[in-house]
Amino acid sequence: MKGPALFLAQFVSDEAPFNSLGSITRWAAGHGYRGVQIPTWDSRIFDLQKAAESQDYVDEVKGICAGNGVEVTELSTHLQGQLVASHPAYDRLFDGFAPTQLHRNVDARTAWAAEQLMLAAKASRRFGCTSHATFSGALMWHLLYPWPQRPAGLVEEGFAELARRWKPILDCFDDEGVNACYELHPGEDLHDGVTFERFLEALDDHPRANILYDPSHFVLQQLDYLAFIDIYHDRIKAFHVKDAEFRPNGRAGVYGSYSPWTERPGRFRSLGDGQIDFTSIFTKLTHYGFDGWAVLEWECAFKHPEQGAAEGAPFIARHMIRKAERAFDDFAGGSVEHGIVRDALGLAN
């Protein structure tokens, strides 16, 4: 595993040092980060079209990062991925994720989103990144709770349509040798293990459909985030290190009651302030040979982002595990001969 790294999406702004790639990566490195995950939709620090078409531009970006002591871990298309599949109930709200000229034109917006993902696949390959972070979008989120009763075949058709939209995109990722890693997230049709499995089934187990593991979203759903690693470790190709807490009470539960984040039973917290057992997470990921980046995605209902970022790098560094190359008790072992083995079992040679 590599790290610590920082997802820049929550930090980019019009104010220095967050308003250019050079200054924000210098700031990140100053806090101890060795890598950055870049949001491809923010033109203040990145041009996705250029990155897909020009190795010179990619080398320039890599040079800026390297000069400040960090490297690009992954590119992100969370906003564009959301628009690959969006139910009409959310169209006006999600228009803000797309260029102004595409607002109120769902077909054009969807086509643009798919093109953005394909550009991201090409750009990721130019950066030498083998994983890419994104969202699946959602055609069925409004149908999550089965009331009114869902007609037979509705869910199956929903996943079939989601797969139809993503299949050509995933084929492009396959051509470029890059894994598309879906952040399993409430609000997305892919939000837990079962929904991911249904998507995979509709895609005939496409090799490039993989997972960005973020335990915070599982805490808010009350899913066993450690058992999840045991089940899906072969598909986990990216990792967001984000903390959360769930505090049920007599008035509100997992749905959150339309309350602001500070008042919800489930809420995101800065690293170390929540309930997640990161020692066990890092141990399991190390055990299964995860060799990607540990990337802080800072979100917190209370703490200032700059404090969260400053505390995040040393937190991740403390949890990083250098995998042992031999067993701790090897020093006491002797030469193994067939006769000794038979004797130890009480068997005649």
DSSP for 173-224 reads HHHHT-EEEEE--TTSS--SHHHHHHHHHHTTS-TTEEEEE-HHHHHHHT--
pLDDT, one tens digit per residue, over 89-119 is 999 999 999 999 999 999 999 999 999 999 9
CA 132/CA 228 separation, integer angstroms: 20
Whether residue 312 is predicted with pLDDT greater than 80 in this model: the reply is: yes
Whether residue 11 is predicted with pLDDT greater than 90 in this model: the reply is: yes
**pLDDT of amino acid 348:** 75
Whether residue 334 is predicted with pLDDT greater than 70 in this model: the reply is: no
Going by pLDDT thresholds of 50, 70 and 90, the confidence category of residue 339 is confident
Q: Provide the residue ranges of all domains of the chain, joining segments of one domain with +.
A: 2-344
- Please state, for a pLDDT cut of 70, what percent of the chain lies above it: 99
**pLDDT of amino acid 292:** 98
Burial (CB < 10 A; 0-12, 13-18, 19+), residue 26, is: middle
CA 33/CA 36 separation, integer angstroms: 8
Beta bridge partners of 210: 181
- Angle (CA) 85-87-88 rounded to 5° is 125
pLDDT, one tens digit per residue, over 231-268 is 999 999 999 999 999 999 999 999 999 999 999 999 99
Question: What would the CATH number be for the domain defined by 2-344?
Answer: 3.20.20.150
**pLDDT of amino acid 335:** 66
Record the tokens describing residue 4, joined without a space: 């610590």
Burial (CB < 10 A; 0-12, 13-18, 19+), residue 226, is: middle
Q: Mean pLDDT, to the nearest integer, of 122-135?
A: 98
**pLDDT of amino acid 344:** 84
